[in-house]
Chain A
Amino acid sequence: MASESIALTVHRSPLQVVYEWMATVDHKKIGLMYIVYALLFLVIMGIEAILMRIQLAHSNSTFLSPQVFNRLFTMHGTTGVFFVAMPILFGFANYLVPLMIGARDMAFPRLNAFSFWMTAFGGLLLYASFFAGKGFSQGGIAPDVGWFAYAPLTAPAFSPGHSTDYWTLSLLIAGVGSIGGAVNFIATIISMRCRGMTLSRMPLMAWMSLVMSSLVLVTISPLTAAQLMLMVDRYMGGHFFDTTAGGSVVIWIHFFWIFGHPEVYVLIIPCFGFISEIVPVFSRKAMFGYPAMVAASVGIGFVSLGVWAHHMFTVGMPSYGNAFFVLTTMVVAVPTGIKIFNWLATMWGGKIVFATPMIFCIGFLFQFLIAGLTGIMLATAPFDWQLANSYFVVAHFHYVIVGGILFSIFAAFYYWYPKITGRMLSEMLGKWHFWIFLIGFHLTFDFMHVPGLLGMPRRIYTYEAGRGWETWNMISSIGVIFQAAGILIFVYNMIQSYFRGTIAGNDPWDAWTLEWSTTSPPPEYDFATLPVVRSRRPLWDLKHPDDPDWKYE
């Protein structure tokens, strides 16, 4: 099957190939486009980060002007959340969910393509501001209002020109794409499962995609609403956020974080899915406590909707308001703890294989544990009065996003690359990638906590000498070199393995979910005959007819 499709592509002109990709409604191709698109933006945001780390490496640096620095952190944050993390996770879910639930495509293939192209257009529009932020005749200026763009900094008085409009519009458009994608995932997971696959037999990755999509539906809407209000303020004389006319800027803060906090879970929950697929396979054991994992994820989804104001402990809420959000935030620790313990219990008593996907998962577990603990510190409102908006917070959420989300995404790449391309990634390069990136990550983000504790606020383009911040910042900046090297190894590995990697076969990891039952890469129709399943691990049942899972579940 695979050789046949390769033979077909050989006869096509490059233009036909491009057209084929642009017009495709195949969930696998769309998933891949999401992933490649996100990787390009990952490189861009990485370059932005490198520039900022050069600037901050020592005190009183003049490498960047304050204006440029402010644009860089705005673009770095906006790109990272909306055009790297979300698309890459949507991409993996797009590729994997139909395969995992034994379907031939998403429920609405054309909506799927539409969603991708909206997201893609959003990202391009954001970066168009570099060329046209002041209007096409006057040249570019990127947004410089920060990724949460607190009003009234976005008001015309403080943000003239169009850079803020590019920010607003691009998120609005990408938001339409995200909502389309979420609707599609929910419909697919609810109604496209193969015979025998009840909700309680669904792979955890599919469950996590379901929870993630539900959260996207609920949380992108307030962001979209806020962006519309901002546009009304900026162009139609509205006063939603105009304090001189009785508007409220605190309303923006609420709207933003009602979106912004669940958004963190939109990003991390699919990663829980990756970990829950990979850890069992490389521990050679069934997932420990599957129902508890599902319950914990759904629980996190619900609780995450009631914690947003922990981003607002310094905004001046009454003491009982602060206390309420301390409690709800700390409650998140309970289901999160359940998940960590279940992963540990899955490894416990297993026979762990230290392949690259697994070592990235172990890195994830270690770093996610620390990120969770610093999260509890930040949830302690009085402690947060000191830590909020300091470099401690920056270190904390990079621990979540890089140490947690990115590590699990790397694990997912090493795990599913053979399925997607038909060839294995190099294990040796994978281990180099892991160790070098790990060193870089810890150099940068472990030491970044310290200047926060020593009073360094985030988003400052420079700092004076004598505050005791220089050494820590220098170490953080040095770490970036290692991270960049790790990424280069990763990119090289993906490119060279595509041409010269060992042939993977259908099931290189001896895994248990349905995507490994079809060819690598899967045919356009995914499965020649739709599978029928009797347990959570259909391939285990096939491989162990003497001791199948359905006897115990």
Chain B
Amino acid sequence: MASLWGWRPNGAHPLLSVILCTLRCSGAMAFFFTHLSLLAPAVAGQLSPTNIFAPDSTPARSIFRLSIFDLEVEGAIFIVVFSLLAYAVIKFRRGKRDDSEPPQVYGSNQMELAWTVLPVLIVVVLFLATAEVIHRVQDARRPPGAIDVTVVAHQFWWEYRYQQFGFTTANELHVPISDSHGSTPTFLALLSADVDHSFWVPRLAGKTDLIPNHPNSTWIDPQETGLFLGQCSQYCGTQHAKMLQRVYVDSRADFDSWVRNQQKPAVSDPAVAAGAALFIAKACFACHTVRGTIARGVAGPDLTHLMTRHTIGSGAVQITPQNLRRWIRDPGTFKPGSLMPAQDLTDTELEQLGQYLQTLR
């Protein structure tokens, strides 16, 4: 009965043809994807600012290369198995007036062996390729010139501590440009102040969770200046969606001048003394730090150089004088669920406070 089986189970034929077909398909896929991968970073960047196929930093690029290899292998498997399925569905339909039963085949040990061994080989290859990238990304050594930043995730914003340089900022991470040799990578220590979060800037690196009492780390070495977007990718509560990330990659000179400015205490402008007093009187200081004043709160973002940032509320909205005032009055307008309470202020008070904050450059 087995001989009636379409693919003679005893011959090497079917197996060989499957292997050949796989090789041919994967050759074609490899050609397609290598060309795609050359094009990809340029085109992919246009698709989305957070495209994982537009890497700009070594960890993201290693992942990208591995993922293309993965896609090639899986594409080949898909083509082979799908072709078999389509062939079977088309070829072995029962005829209109055909009531007879087909020959009954109960199995074939050779076939079983073939489709066990082949996947095992594929798994071995994929595993080795994967293990190599895991090792390369995860066990990378920290070179002497590296920048260290401690990232502390909060519900629903990011705290960035530059202990090396002696200051803390929030929500917008600045790092210097590196090169393909990884001359000045930035190593990020990842902590959480409350619940689980995840650090994900797709074009720079894969994500790593920030978990209370479980310090993690990751690293990036961006090779282009500019703004890189990302966002928290572990559900962390009401405003998980607006816990956005902005990473500014600066030229070395720009980075150094940014650092020098951040190191300074807050500007003290007598023209906005009324607003500065309100900042204390309305208890803003309980949550926010403004270095050089008595405001040393740590529950909310450091505001010492607020106006050097481009957004409020961890990327929720652009920082304009009007948005700033609306945010202070009720953060819920932009970010319902934000832990910052709405403020009961008169219009004059709001204006004074806004004027004061606008001087914090």
Name A's B-contacting residues (CB within 8 A). 65-67, 70, 144, 146, 150, 152-153, 158, 243, 247-250, 283-286, 288-292, 314-316, 318-319, 322-323, 326-327, 330-331, 333-334, 337-338, 340-342, 344-345, 347-354, 362, 365-366, 369-370, 373, 376-377, 380-390, 453-464, 466-469, 544, 547, 549, 552-553
Segment at the A interface, from B3-11, B170-178, B180-188, B298-306: B3-11
Q: How far is the CA of A333 from the CA of B232 in the complex (A)?
A: 31
Chain B residues positioned under 8 Å from A144 (CB to CB): 238
List residues of chain A with CB within 8 A of the CB of B131: 323, 326
What is the distance, in angstroms, from B147's C-beta to the closest C-beta of chain A? Answer: 21
B101 adjacent to A284 (CB under 8 Å): yes
Min CB distance A283 to B, Å, is 7
Q: Does B70 contact A (CB under 8 A)?
A: yes
Of A342, A350, A544, the contact of B92 (CB 8 Å cutoff): A350
Does the CB pair B235–A338 fall under 8 Å? no
Chain B, Cβ-Cβ closest to A349: B6
In the complex, A453 Cα to B51 Cα: how many Å? 6
B112 touches A333 (CB 8 A): no
Binary per-residue interface labels of chain B (222-244) against chain A in the complex, 1 for a CB within 8 Å, 0 otherwise: 00000001111111111111001
Task: Report chain A residues within 8 Å CB of B88.
Answer: 344, 347-348, 352
Of the candidates A65, A337, A376, the one whose C-beta lies within 8 Å of that of B126 is A376
The reply to whether A327 and B127 form a contact with Cβ atoms under 8 Å apart is yes
10 residue pairs bridging A and B, Cβ less than 8 Å apart? A158-B237, A284-B94, A285-B104, A288-B105, A289-B106, A291-B107, A315-B214, A337-B119, A351-B100, A385-B63
Q: Identify which of B135-143, B248-256, B266-274, B352-360 touches chain A.
A: B135-143
Task: Please indicate the chain B residues that have their CB under 8 angstroms from the CB of A455 in the complex.
Answer: 48-52, 200, 202, 229-231
How long is the Cα–Cα vector from A327 to B194 in the complex, in angstroms?
Answer: 33
Bound CA–CA A551/B81 (angstroms): 32
Report the Cα distance A340→B85, complex, angstroms. Answer: 10
Which of chain B's residues have a CB closer than 8 A to the CB of A331? 123
Residues of chain B within 8 A (CB-CB) of A464 are: 244
Say which residue of A152, A348, A354, A547 sits within 8 Å of B6 (CB atoms).
A348
Q: A351-B98, A389-B235, A454-B51 are in contact. List 6 more A-B contacts (CB 8 A).
A: A70-B235, A248-B214, A289-B106, A330-B126, A334-B120, A384-B206
- Closest approach, in angstroms, between the C-beta of A517 and any C-beta of chain B? 18
Which of B21-29, B71-79, B320-328, B343-351 binds A?
Answer: B71-79
| Cβ A459 vs Cβ B235 within 8 A | yes
* Chain B nearest Cβ from A483, distance in angstroms: 23
**Residue contact B202 to A345, C-beta cutoff 8 Å:** no
- A66 near B212 (CB under 8 angstroms)? no
B209 in contact (CB, < 8 A): yes
Q: Report whether A369 and B233 are in contact in the complex, using a CB–CB cutoff of 8 Å.
A: no
Task: List B residues at the A interface (Cβ < 8 Å).
Answer: 1, 4-7, 47-53, 60, 62-63, 66-67, 70-71, 74, 77-78, 81-82, 84-85, 88-89, 92-95, 98, 100-108, 111-112, 115-116, 119-120, 122-123, 126-127, 130-131, 133-135, 137-139, 155, 190, 194-196, 198, 200, 202, 205-209, 211-214, 216-217, 229-241, 244, 336-337
Question: Do residues A150 and B196 form an inter-chain contact, with CB atoms below 8 A?
Answer: yes
Residues of chain B within 8 A of A459, CB atoms compared: 235, 240-241
Provide the residues of chain A in CB contact with B85, threshold 8 Å. 344, 362, 365-366, 369
Q: Is the CB of B130 within 8 A of A249?
A: no
Min CB gap B108→A, angstroms: 7
Q: Please name the residue on chain B nearest to A362 by beta carbon.
A: B89
Q: Which residues of B contact A387 (CB under 8 A)?
A: 52
CA of A67 to CA of B241, assembled, Å? 11
Closest to A552 in B: B106
Q: Are A386 and B106 in contact (CB under 8 A)?
A: no
Cα of A353 to Cα of B119 in the assembled complex, Å: 30
Interface centre among B95, B106, B230 (most CB of A within 10 A): B106
Q: Which residue of A lies closest to B63 (CB)?
A: A382
Q: Which residues of B contact A158 (CB under 8 A)?
A: 155, 194-195, 237
A382 is contacted by which of B89, B119, B130 (Cβ under 8 Å)? B130
- The minimal Cβ–Cβ distance linking A32 to chain B, given in whole angstroms, is 32
CA distance A36 to B139 in the complex (A): 53
- In the complex, the answer to whether A390 meets B233 with C-beta atoms within 8 Å is yes
CA distance A331 to B7 in the complex (A): 27
Are the C-beta atoms of B67 and A380 separated by less than 8 Å? yes
B195 touches A376 (CB 8 A): no
Kindly state the separation between the CA atoms of A462 and B200 in the bound complex, as whole angstroms.
Answer: 17
Contact A382 B66 (CB under 8 A): yes
| B193 smallest CB distance to A (angstroms) | 11
B74 neighbours in A (Cβ, 8 Å): 373, 376-377
Determine which of A146, A362, A381 lies in contact with B235 in the assembled complex, contact meaning CB atoms within 8 Å.
A146
- Contact residues in A for B7 (Cβ distance below 8 Å): 348
Task: Give min CB distance, B321 to chain A, whole Å.
Answer: 21
State whether B130 touches A150 (Cβ < 8 A): no
Most buried by B among A326, A340, A376, A457: A457
Cβ–Cβ contact B134 & A322, under 8 A: yes
On whether the beta carbons of A314 and B94 are closer than 8 Å, the reply is no
Residues of A with C-beta under 8 A to B92: 283, 347-352
**Cβ contact within 8 Å between B50 and A326:** no
Complex Cα spacing A289 to B213, Å: 51
| 5 nearest A-B pairs in the assembled complex, by CB-CB distance | A385-B206, A455-B50, A468-B48, A460-B241, A243-B213
Q: For residue B133, which residues in chain A have a CB less than 8 angstroms away from its CB?
A: 382
Contacts of B139 in A (CB 8 A): 319
- B48's partner among A152, A338, A390, A467 (CB-CB below 8 A) is A467
Q: Which of A152, A290, A351, A365 contacts B107 (CB 8 A)?
A: A290
**Contact A386 B211, CB 8 Å, known A285-B104, A338-B115, A457-B233:** no
Check if A322 sits within 8 Å of B336, measured CB to CB: no
How close is A128's CB to chain B, nearest CB, in angstroms? Answer: 23
Q: Given A349-B6, A349-B92, A466-B49, is A314 in contact with B208 using a C-beta cutoff of 8 Å? A: yes
Would you call A338 and B93 a contact (CB within 8 A)? no
How far is it, in angstroms, between the C-alpha of A467 and the C-alpha of B85 when the chains are bound?
Answer: 37
| A347 CB contacts on chain B under 8 angstroms | 88-89, 92
Whole-angstrom distance between the alpha carbons of A382 and B238 in the complex? 29
A70 to chain B, nearest CB (A): 7
Q: From B117, which residue of chain A is reached at the shortest CB distance?
A: A334
Q: Are B89 and A315 in contact (CB under 8 A)?
A: no
Tell me the complex Cα distance, A158–B235, Å. 13
Closest residue of chain A to B48, judged by CB?
A468
Contact (A351, B95) CB under 8 Å given A65-B336, A340-B81, A386-B206: yes
B214 near A153: Cβ-Cβ < 8 Å: no
Which of B66, B82, B337 is A383 in contact with, Cβ under 8 Å? B66
Residues of A within 8 A of B213 (CB): 243, 247-249
A47 CA to B273 CA, complexed, in Å? 55
Closest Cβ of chain A to B136, distance in Å, is 9
A467 touches B49 (CB 8 A): yes
- Output the least CB separation between B96 and chain A (Å): 11
Most buried by A among B1, B66, B95, B115: B115
Question: How far, in whole Å, are A243 and B238 apart by their CA atoms in the complex?
Answer: 21
Q: Is A314 touching B209 in the complex (CB atoms < 8 A)?
A: yes
Of A288, A326, A327, A383, most B-chain CB atoms within 10 Å: A383
Residues from chain A with a CB closer than 8 A to the CB of B50 are: 454-456, 467
Q: In the complex, what distance in Å separates the CA atom of A439 from the CA atom of B345?
A: 55
Given A249-B212, A389-B198, A463-B241, are A377 and B67 also a contact pair (CB < 8 Å)?
Answer: yes
From known contacts A66-B239, A285-B102, infer whether A250 and B214 are also in contact, taking CB-CB under 8 Å: yes
Q: Which residue of B lies closest to A74 (CB)?
A: B235
A377 touches B70 (CB 8 A): yes
Residues from chain A with Cβ under 8 Å of B49 in the complex? 455, 466-468
Beta-carbon contact of A351 and B134 below 8 Å: no
Q: Are B106 and A152 in touch, CB under 8 angstroms?
A: no
Bound Cα distance from A454 to B200, whole angstroms: 12
Which residues of chain B come closer than 8 Å to A549, judged between CB atoms? 104
